[in-house]
Amino acid sequence: MRKWLPFVVALLPLAAQTADEHANRAAEFVQSRDLKSAEAELRRAIEMRPSDPTLLTSLGGVLGMEGDLHGANGYLRRAVQLDGENPLLRRNLAANQWQLGQLHEAATNLDLLLKSNPRDGAAIFLRGMVADGLHDYTRCIELLESLPEVTTRKPEAAVALADSYYHTNEPEKARAILQPLAGSRLAYEASGVAIAAHDYETAVALLSSLRTPDAAARSRLALAQSRLEIERGNLPQALAMASAGLRDAPDSAELVMTKASLESTLHYYTDAVPSWKRALALRPHSEEARRGLATAEWEGGMKPAAIADFEEGLKEFPHDAALRADYGTLLLDRGLGDDTARGTELLRRAIALDDSLAEAHYRLGNALLEAGDLAGAQKELEAAGSLDSQSARVHFALSRLYRRMGRTGDADRERGEWQRLKAGEARVASTGPALGAVDR
Amino acid sequence: MGAYGAVIVGGVMTAAVVVLLSSAAPRSDAVFSDITAEAGITWKHFSGESPDRFLPEAMGGGVALADFDGDGLADIFLVTGGETPRGRAAAPPQNALYRNLGGGRFRDITAGSGLARVGFYGMGVAAGDYDNDGRPDLFITGYPTSALFHNNGDGTFTDVTAKAGVANTGRWGASAAWIDYDRDGRLDLFICNYAKFSFEHGPHCTYQGEPTYCAQTAYEGDAPALYHNNGDGTFTDATQRAGLAQLAGRALGVVSIDVDGDGWPDLVVARDASPNLLLLNRRDGTFRDAAADAEIAFNMDGNARAGMGVDAADLDGDGWPDLILTNFNDEGHALYLNNGRFPFTERTLALTRPYVGWGASFLDYDNDGAQDLLIVNGHLNRVIERTRRDVFYREPPLLLANDGRGSFAEARAAGPAFARGYVARGLAVGDIDNDGDADAIFTRLNDSPVLLRNNVGQNAVWIGFELEGTVSNRDAIGARVTVEHDGRRMSRWITSGSSYLSSHDKRVIFGLGGSRPASVTAEIRWPNGRTQTVSGLAPGRYHRIVEPR
């Protein structure tokens, strides 16, 4: 969590003018953390000297400390407009913009500062933080690593640097930086970075280090623990963790979606359906939630509801290829004979929206093969093969196709490839309970 | 009204003994009536279900319909499971032999028959006259051994396993089929061995915190066994020589039938999460697996389905035997139309998708000339309904009517039994009251079987055949009978195995619909390959035809 950096307090003058007297009183109030009184004194001072950039930036600073970043921004910008050469004023504006998420504006101001003084430590720090926010991870690492002991002096930098390390595929460095944050005020924020990088073990360690975790921390810990168990293949335990987390944070969309997804994967469809409904209530425009709900309804034997939800999704997400591909696949694969035409049409539409969907090409190709349209099947199955050459079933379908086309040599080659890939699958055979169709 | 028996040898009618058997019970409008209770069948299967959830506990037991005492009426033999380490019975589990008394009544004659207890965990049964003495013998499969019982003809059976050499020791035998694969006139024995298993080291699984049966993939598949009949009461293990030893997989169902029309019996094997097999007889004592070419080995994604039961019959009147293989829920039971060439055409029965199918049999329930389909279902997972609204632990059987072109729809007014849920497993079909239509019996896990009497088939015109091989095996397993009627050519095969763990009445019935011909001509291709034409056969009765020497 970012806090206003009180660079500006030191600027408050102690002169004996009336405006200055107000400013002096404001400084005293800041010292005693009475920000409301400080703000009132500075406003009176500005009424008297409205074009004093120092007073303006001071008020901006106090507003920032009060959490009114938007209010602060106007005063800070006006101060820079009045005295563009003052690096302190620009730095304050940049810091506020960074905290407001106006990253491009912040970057522009910080680059100006660094152009005039490449050794401006505060600007380097802020520019590094902004670079992380702008996903310019290499620049972030370059800047923050250039500041000696920055992660010790400014732990916020550790979080940004770790984020950049994760994104540049250096997770060990990220973990090394994050570990010292355990038990610190930044442990929660650091855990978010680890979760985003799917480093759930580090996230769990950070969150577990909190001495008095609040509900948000407890639910995030549950999320991290749940996802850690998913990674370990222990889905029932993952589900238990997600469910426990929801007791602390019933409105956590991430936890609800994790739970719903786990229930679907475990075939607990009658549990998954209300979970996906809850996810959809929390994220009404989530395509994933709509698709998850419709699919769980279908798999759970609630086909009319599933069709209604798929159709609703088609209207709400007219350009969503995955939704159409999933719906079309279910209609073809698990529907009745009447569903074939609709399933085929949906797959064609999915491919028109996104030609890179190997699954849609494969399903459509198989449907055309069954219908005897060998040319159409060839086009789709070969497209699927080029998009996903490691899919055993695509090679199996190509083998069937080529045999029907009289291309025996190609058919044998594809069957051989299918057998090779299938042998790899067999080595990880399921040992779970008997739930439904095998190999689904 | 039923009729039994014109005996014909060499195409010449030599005797006609007609036995009228009228059913005492009133007939229902429904296709099938559950007459289990009034028939006097009270036996219950015992699975040894335990907290360990050993997979054999969920697999059920088989049933055989055969005339064991030679009185012209199909009797019933039922196989129990057995005790497991933590699944003990109050009294020792027993198999059951019911004698058909006629009139829809049966009497338990297990005691003293020699069949009550077999000393192993029982699974399936295959009835066949392996020594050609005119009496059906019994091969009972199970774990960790199987057993062959010779029918003494006096209501007793003798365990001849040791002498015969067919114990299948250490293996988990499921369905079995009699097949004269080398056409030497003696029935050989094919056994589906399911998986490597041990009560000491079984895998254990839970579902939502409760113990449940593990998926089949937790068990390593085993190879089938083929025993060649030496003709002296002994058998020789021919598995290796026949090229079957390398075909390891979780085999559950088998039917022996001539799939490619070359006059030599082939085998279709349903396997559970292992590729199904189509073992074409190479006529030299070996088999070639052509399932991949026929495209029955896998589903269209190249994945093996959970094949359990299997049957074969000509569904579209083209003279080629088509196939049904029952599968797990969501997979659909797979129907394959054999067009006389590879690949076969798959028509998965979409309406079967919620069901876990086991026993399956083609039968012309209404004798309209088209082979319909009876499938019994039932889940493994007791808590499946917690998560699915379309899949149930207890599932109804399905009676599917064939439109004559191989398209199926649920039969109307099938009967109350088809609206009830069961945990069904084995299924055998036969004419228990000799009225010319197909009755059925299916087994249930840890429960009594359900005996279904057909109420409608006898209203149509029909003709039945019981074949007696002389040069061929006496049961004529492998024979094909073809009848032409109303411009339609109908073929029926005498098969062995088929369904799941069970054994059907070996007589064949042709439904001739509503029009009664003055006489019927039948062409019989005997198992040894010779063809015989018999004319002047009266409809409405069974004809016993003896193979000319």
- ipTM score assigned to the predicted complex: 0.87
CA separation for the pair B484, B234 (Å, rounded): 41
Place of tokens 């291309």: A407
Closest listed residue to residue A349, CA positions, set A313, A373, A382, A374: A313
Task: Report the pLDDT value the prediction gives residue B281, as an integer from 0 to 100.
Answer: 98
**DSSP secondary structure letters along A273-327:** HHHHHHHHHHSTT-HHHHHHHHHHHHHTT-HHHHHHHHHHHHHH-TT-HHHHHHH
Name the helix (H) or strand (E) containing B96.
strand B96-102
Q: Which of A336, A401, A439 to mutate to test the interface with B (most CBs of B within 10 A)?
A: A439
Name the helix (H) or strand (E) containing A154.
none
Please provide residue A360's backbone torsions phi and psi, each rounded to the nearest 5 degrees. Answer: -65, -40
Closest listed residue to residue B297, CA positions, set B288, B310, B285, B307: B307
**Contact residues, A window 330-359, toward B, CB-based 8 Å cutoff:** 334-337
Type of residue found at B334: A
Give residue ranges of B with CB < 8 Å to any A CB. Answer: 58, 203, 205-209, 212-218, 273, 292, 295, 298, 300-306, 327-331, 343, 350-351, 353-354, 380-381, 384, 386-391
Closest listed residue to residue B46, CA positions, set B450, B446, B448, B426: B446
Average pLDDT, chain B: 93
Instruction: Catalogue the E-assigned strands of B322-432.
Output: 322-325, 334-337, 345-346, 357-363, 372-377, 398-402, 408-410, 424-430
Nearest to A438 among B58, B217, B380 (CB): B217
**Which residues have C-beta within 8 Å of that of residue B232, sequence separation ≥ 6?**
none
User: Which DSSP category does A389 fall into?
Assistant: T
Distance from CA of A356 to the nearest CA of B (A): 20
Omega before residue A180 within 30° of 0, cis = no
Closest listed residue to residue B188, CA positions, set B243, B238, B224, B241: B238
Least confident range from B19-23, B294-298, B393-397: namely B19-23
C-alpha Rg value of chain B to the nearest Å: 21
Residues B203, B169 contacting (CB under 8 angstroms): no
Long-range contacts, A82-90 (Cβ 8 Å, 24+): A82/A51, A82/A53, A82/A56, A83/A53, A86/A53, A87/A113, A87/A116, A87/A117, A87/A120, A87/A123, A88/A7, A88/A8, A88/A11, A88/A57, A89/A53, A89/A57
CA separation for the pair B350, B410 (Å, rounded): 11
- Tokens coding B549: 């020497």
Nearest to B329 among A370, A432, A436 (CB): A436
Omega before residue B144 within 30° of 0, cis = yes
| Contact check, Cβ <8 Å, B217/A430 | yes
Residues B272, A404 contacting (CB under 8 angstroms): no
Residue A268: closest CA among chain B residues belongs to which residue? B387
Nearest to A440 among B330, B388, B391 (CB): B330
Question: What percentage of chain B carries pLDDT values higher than 70?
Answer: 95
Q: Across residues B27-55, what is the average pLDDT?
A: 94
Residue B300: closest CA among chain A residues belongs to which residue? A397
Nearest to A435 among B305, B351, B381 (CB): B381
CA separation for the pair B358, B384 (Å, rounded): 17
- Tokens coding B310: 């299997």
Per-residue CA distances from B35 to B32, B74, B320, B455 (Å): 9, 15, 35, 11
- For every one of its 440 residues, what pLDDT tens digit does chain A have, with 9 covering 90 and above? 344 444 444 455 444 468 889 999 999 999 899 999 999 999 999 999 999 999 999 999 999 999 999 999 999 999 999 999 999 999 999 999 999 999 999 999 999 999 999 999 999 999 999 999 999 999 999 999 999 888 888 889 999 999 999 999 999 999 999 999 999 989 999 999 999 999 999 999 999 999 888 888 998 999 999 999 999 888 889 999 999 999 988 999 999 999 999 999 988 888 999 999 999 999 999 999 999 999 999 988 888 999 999 999 999 999 999 999 999 999 987 766 678 899 999 999 999 999 999 999 999 999 999 999 999 999 999 999 999 999 999 999 999 999 999 999 999 999 999 999 988 776 544 556 665 543 32
Give me the half-sphere count of Cα atoms (radius 13 Å) on the Cβ side of residue B18: 10
| Contact check, Cβ <8 Å, B387/A300 | yes
Per-residue CA distances from B213 to A436, B170, B205, B392 (Å): 12, 22, 6, 16
Query: From the CB of residue A303, how many other CB atoms can be counted at a distance below 10 Å?
Result: 18
Per-residue CA distances from B78 to A1, A439, B68, B127, B397 (Å): 73, 34, 13, 12, 19
- Tokens coding B313: 């019959």
Degrees (nearest 5) of the Cα angle B401, B406, B407? 60
Four-residue CA torsion sign, A245, A249, A254, A259: positive
**Which residues have C-beta within 8 Å of that of residue A61, sequence separation ≥ 6?**
A4, A6, A7, A8, A9, A11, A72, A76, A92
Burial class of residue B412 in the structure, from the number of CB atoms within 10 Å of its CB (0-12 exposed, 13-18 middle, 19+ buried): exposed
Strands of B334-337's sheet in order across: B310-313, B322-325, B334-337, B345-346
Provide the angle, in degrees to the nearest 10, between the axes of the packed helices A321-334 and A287-299. 10
Chain CA centroid to CA B27, Å: 26
Give me the half-sphere count of Cα atoms (radius 13 Å) on the Cβ side of residue A203: 26
3-state secondary structure of B206: strand
Nearest to A431 among B217, B295, B298 (CB): B217
pLDDT at residue B16 tops 60: no
Task: Give pTM, 2 decimals.
Answer: 0.80
| Contact check, Cβ <8 Å, A438/B331 | yes
Strands of B531-537's sheet in order across: B488-493, B480-485, B520-525, B531-537
| Contact check, Cβ <8 Å, B390/A370 | no
CA separation for the pair A273, B538 (Å, rounded): 62
Give residue-wise pLDDT tens across range B323-351: 999 999 989 999 999 999 999 999 878 88
Residue A274: closest CA among chain B residues belongs to which residue? B387
Query: From the CB of residue B114, how many other CB atoms can be counted at a distance below 10 Å?
Result: 19
